[in-house]
Each structure stands twice: as C-alpha cells, then as structure tokens.
Amino acid sequence: MPLYAAYGSNLDPELMAARAPHSPLFTTGWLDGWRLTFGGENISWEGPLVTVVEDPASRVFVALYDVASWDEAQIDAWEGTDLGVYDKIRLRVRHDEGEVAAWVYVLNGYEGGLPHAHYLGLIADAAEKAGAPAEYVYELRARPCRSLGE
C-alpha cells in the first residue's frame, strides 16, 4: 500500500481512523529539509491553511499511514485535491528504521498569513497525540496566530 505522511490535523490518530478507517499507522518520522507553514489565505474562509515548503534548515514531524486505495480517494476529497486546494507530491521520510517514500499534500497557494489560534491548536493537539517530541509541540503552540475575531 502507498504511504501517506500526515503533518497537520491528520496527525490525530482518531481523526485519521474516521477519515481513513482501513489505513493503519505505519510509524512516525520526519520530513527533513521542509518547514511547516501556512498559506492560501484567499482559499479558505477560516484563514490560512497548513502546508509544507522546502527549507534546508528545518524538519516537519509526520505520521506515516499505510493507505488502502479506497481510503486514498476519501483523504484526497477531504484535502480538496479535486478542487485544486492541495496537490500531492512524493517525498522521502526519515523514520527510526530508515527512509521511505510517501506522499504529502502541499497547498496550491502562496505562503503567508497567520492561522487562527483554534486551527493552530488543533494541529498542535494532533501532533501531541501522534507522539511528536514535546519541543516540537511547544514550538507549534508558540507560533504567532490570530484570534477567531480577527
């Protein structure tokens, strides 16, 4: 089965179990040379959406899932690939036992804008549930964001 590297709210094992019930967690790992950021503020009424961009000095924590073909279509729909919101690309993911190729979703929009505090909190909570190191979760929670009224 193909591997999917989740880095946003899909890090949450309960959420992924609902979105892709036939796709078990394989392991966790890191996208080396990539940075978590936000963009596409004009795409979503909720503000900027999470994405990853290349950055040699950074890395992003991910959960790797073995995705069944019938679940892949559901995840694609959830991520808005049919609407052009996100594109799928394949990257190398480092984990405890080596490296694997996996797909990730990258935003089809410009980087920039501050995420809403609630959205950023969901991502930080998901990272914590997936077993991200405390320092990584802390850095997520400490990121600049805006309140829902802004």
pLDDT digits (tens, 9 = 90+) for 69-86: 999 999 999 899 999 999
Our measurement of the distance from residue 15's CA atom to the centroid of its chain's CA atoms, rounded to an integer in Å, reads 12
Mean pLDDT of the chain: 93
4 annotated as belonging to a binding site for a ligand: yes
Nearest to 6 by CA among 145, 111, 131: 131
Q: 59, 32 in Cβ contact below 8 A?
A: yes
65 annotated as belonging to a binding site for a ligand: no
In the residue annotation, 111 being an active-site residue is answered as no
Our measurement of the distance from residue 95's CA atom to the centroid of its chain's CA atoms, rounded to an integer in Å, reads 16
Q: How far apart are CA 131 and CA 114, in angstroms?
A: 25
Phi/psi at 74 (nearest 5 deg)? -70, -45
Q: What's the pLDDT score for residue 42?
A: 76
**3-state secondary structure (DSSP) of residue 58:** strand
5 annotated as belonging to a binding site for a ligand: yes
Considering the candidates 54, 79, 111, 139, report the single residue annotated as catalytic. Answer: 79
Could you tell me the residue ranges of all domains in the chain?
3-141
Write down the CATH number for the domain with range 3-141.
3.10.490.10
